[in-house]
Chains A and B, each alone.
Chain A
Amino acid sequence: MDHSDIRIKRVAAAIGVLLLNPVVAVAADEAETLRQQLTDIKQQMQRLQHTYEQQINALEQRLDGLELQSEKPVATTTSPVIQSTGSSSNSDLKIGLSGLFAAGGSSVDNDALEGLQAGAHDPNQNGFTVQNVELSIGGTVGPHFDAQSSIIFQIDADGETVVELEEAFFTTRSLPWGLQIKGGQYFTEFGRQNAQHPHTWTFADQPVVLSRFFGGDGLRSQGMRASWLMPADWYSELYLGIQNPKGETVSSFLSAADEEIGGHTLIDRDARDLGDMLYSARWLNGFDFSDTLSMNIGVSGLWGPNASGTATDSAIYGADMYLKWQPTYSQRGFPFVAWHSEILKRRYEAGDPGDPARETLKDWGLFTQAVWGFKPGWVAGIRADYATADGDTSGDPLRDTRKRLSSNLTWYPSEYSKLRLQYNRDWTEHLADKTADSLWLQLEFNLGSHAAHIF
């Protein structure tokens, strides 16, 4: 109906142009334009007529179907009945709004918390944090494409409302040979956690090493990737991607100018050619050991330029593992045990050749977390984080040696909401006290379309 309205307006506008602009008709080339417009109007009228005919037909069919249904006796025979499909729209648009809020505090002040809770969607305030309000819209575009987008609303530490286009991309539906192309703005498929949206995380905040390598928002950028479902006897998929290397969501590469990494001030550097793009690769494998035990295991790599010089490069490598156990009988998906670990290593060339401060920064880190859904709606979790770097980095909140232990308890009152209490204990070199304790209460709600059940 919306389209028809727009068409009517267009036709009206075109007629308006015809009536109000007699001068136009004088020039010969403009007469051509008019003829064109008339043809357009005719076509549009025909299209309108066609659309309405279709709609009337559809309505008639639905009426017929309804009459049939009301005549039909209630299921008492074994003769099959085929129902009319009865769907009023051919759109499968899914719209959802998810809100994620936190309240809590830490033994350190807000300035120190910025270094500890470095994720942009982490609870990072003594008091209340609006972590993430996400509007997601997705659906099928046609026989060949699906598309989806997530728009994030957030209130930052200064009380300013921030709007981000987190993701907007298409994926192909029907390429042959197990191929799929994805394009647009999207989270890079590196490891398991990076591509997950904050409301699906098992902990209230993102792992330390991911905040260090990929920044507060996770690694995402504009680009394309192809993936290939390989013809193996188990699930095996290869992802190869190319993305823009520049922006504040591409930390470790051409991230924001004037920021610092290991004492090197970043310059404003652009990608000049294909060699300056961000390249990613991931190989993911999935195994079912039995009806109750499944595992994913993957390795990922990233290669691209960095902004510490005009010819400097970064590389990040990672390995990830996810193991899930669920007993033969389970109520609403419970009980279960899931174990997720990732290890990442970064090699960062800092400073151009000839620069006396030139060095290669080597960082690495890991996290391992286990969650136990012990009864329907209840999940307990424990996580260990570790991150460090070569050299003396003890004063740098993003490169010092840091250990963190977290435990949490989550209650899902229904499929569409959760309440989570999380305690973090930090041991970190850059803080005066060397330790910090934080306690967060997190609440999430989901409105709209049913969220996907992630394995």
Chain B
Amino acid sequence: MKKIVKIFGGFLLLMPFLSSHAELRVVTTTQDLAAIAKVVGGSQIQVQSLTPGTRDPHFAAAKPSMIRHVFRADLLLAIGIDMEIGWLPPLLQSARNSRVQPGNPGYLDLSRVVPLLGKTSGPVSRAMGDVHAKGNPHYWLDPRNGVRMAEAIATRLGELDPAHRDAYQQRFKDFAQAIDSKLQIWRTQTAQLKDQPVIAYHKSFIYLADVFGFRIVDEVEPKPGIAPSAASLSALVKHIQDDAIGLLILEPYYERRSAHYLNEQTGVRIAVLPQSVGAFPEINNYIELFDAIVAALVNSKGK
């Protein structure tokens, strides 16, 4: 009996060492965060995204497999401003990993390092739909914010792993440069959209509009998160015709019937925009995401 206790005790004491690992384990709530972390962290980190880019991260559920990932994480990257409010708090409660609890160095909320758009002033009520009072959380859809996020991630990785600080900073600088030169190209390619009125399905493209200079004048959803009705769609038809709106943009996971109806009634062009890395199988990194978005914007079709 004594022997068993000794063996068992020894095993328990050894466990933290058995599970320690040379590479930093980085867990992200979305694939966009994972893509940026991968660029900055290189071979010094292991990256795992909790949600796939094909789904709206706001509506994920805390799956048991996520508990395991968060339990083992050294760094948790989150979009913040309530994007993950439905599932990250219960997940952190189950994951029993104090390193990545908010407030500790292993938790980084990237909404803190970007200028947020769409903050509501004045009273907010749920009668207004899913309003994010603290700001619109789709900020990764501006490549300039991608650079800000990359810098914050590089800084944090350097704090957690000082031995590779210079490598993280160097990779960040390369990334910032790559985005800078790409941004010129993307802007030239989308020049025709400048100042044009556009309709979005959901309030998720205001950062994209900001960087490429088009105006989002209406949404297919009458209120954020509320499905369009026959009445709201016919009001939209009138709006599209009155203001000669030429383009409707939406994420791949939204229903297409409303968009097709609007197209039939008004001829408005439809662009299905990948909103995240991984939204289409061929989008593997952050730069490819904007390549694909720009291509979809430029090649938008009638149907």
Contacts and interface: CB of A to CB of B under 8 A. Distances in A.
A177 B12 contact: yes
A174 interface: yes
Contacts of B98: 143, 173-174
A453 interface: yes
B194 interface: no
Nearest to A74: B115
B288 interface: no
Contacts of A375: 255
Interface in B50-77: 52, 54-56, 59-65, 67-68, 71
B155 to A, nearest CB: 9
A416 B65 CA distance: 27
Contacts of A359: none
Interface in A229-249: 229, 231, 234-235, 237
Interface in B87-123: 87, 89-90, 93-94, 96, 98, 101, 112-117
Given A179-B96, A328-B52, A333 B61 contact: yes
Nearest to A452: B90
A414 B126 contact: yes
B115 A72 contact: yes
B8 interface: no
A78 B179 contact: yes
Interface string B203-230: 0000000100000000000000111000
Which of the listed residues A72, A75, A176, A375 has the most CB atoms from chain B within 10 Å of its own CB?
A75
Contact of A333 (B59, B90, B227): B59
Contact of A177 (B15, B94, B152, B254): B15
Given A174-B96, A452-B86, A453-B86, A82 B64 contact: no
A178 B71 contact: yes
Interface string A172-191: 11111111100000000000
A235 B227 contact: no
B267 to A, nearest CB: 25
Contacts of A235: 64-65, 67-68
A80 B152 contact: yes
A291 interface: yes
B253 A452 contact: no
Contact of A175 (B61, B96, B145, B255): B96
B171 interface: no
A88 interface: no
B32 interface: no
Contact of A329 (B90, B116, B152, B253): B253
Q: Which residue of B63, B130, B151 has the most chain A CB atoms within 10 A of its CB atom?
A: B63
B16 interface: yes
Given A453-B86, A453-B87, A171 B59 contact: no
A375 B65 CA distance: 26
Contact of A455 (B61, B151, B176): B61
A376 B255 contact: yes
Interface in A312-364: 326, 328-333
Interface size class of chain A, counting residues whose CB lies under 8 Å from the partner chain = 35 or more
A444 B51 CA distance: 29
A235 B91 CA distance: 13
B60 A229 contact: no
**Which one of B59, B145, B151, B180 has the highest number of Cβ atoms from chain A below 10 Å of its Cβ?**
B59
A441 B54 CA distance: 35
A454 interface: yes
A75 B115 contact: yes
A268 interface: no
A284 interface: yes
Contacts of B130: 414-415
Contact of B93 (A171, A178, A416): A171
A77 interface: yes
A356 B101 CA distance: 60
A294 B62 CA distance: 12
Contact of A414 (B96, B145, B210, B225): B225
A114 interface: no
A231 B19 contact: yes
Interface string A279-295: 00000111110010010
Interface string A407-430: 000000011100000000000000
Interface in B1-36: 12, 15-16, 18-19
Which of A80, A294, A454 has the most chain B CB atoms inside 10 A of its CB? A80
Contacts of B12: 177
Contact of A178 (B96, B116, B129): B96
A85 interface: yes
A215 to B, nearest CB: 27
Contacts of A393: none
18 contacts: A74-B115, A75-B144, A81-B113, A83-B112, A83-B115, A85-B112, A174-B96, A178-B96, A229-B71, A229-B96, A286-B63, A294-B64, A331-B56, A331-B253, A332-B56, A414-B225, A454-B61, A455-B64
Given A80-B113, A328-B54, 7 more contacts: A83-B115, A286-B67, A376-B255, A452-B86, A452-B87, A453-B86, A453-B87
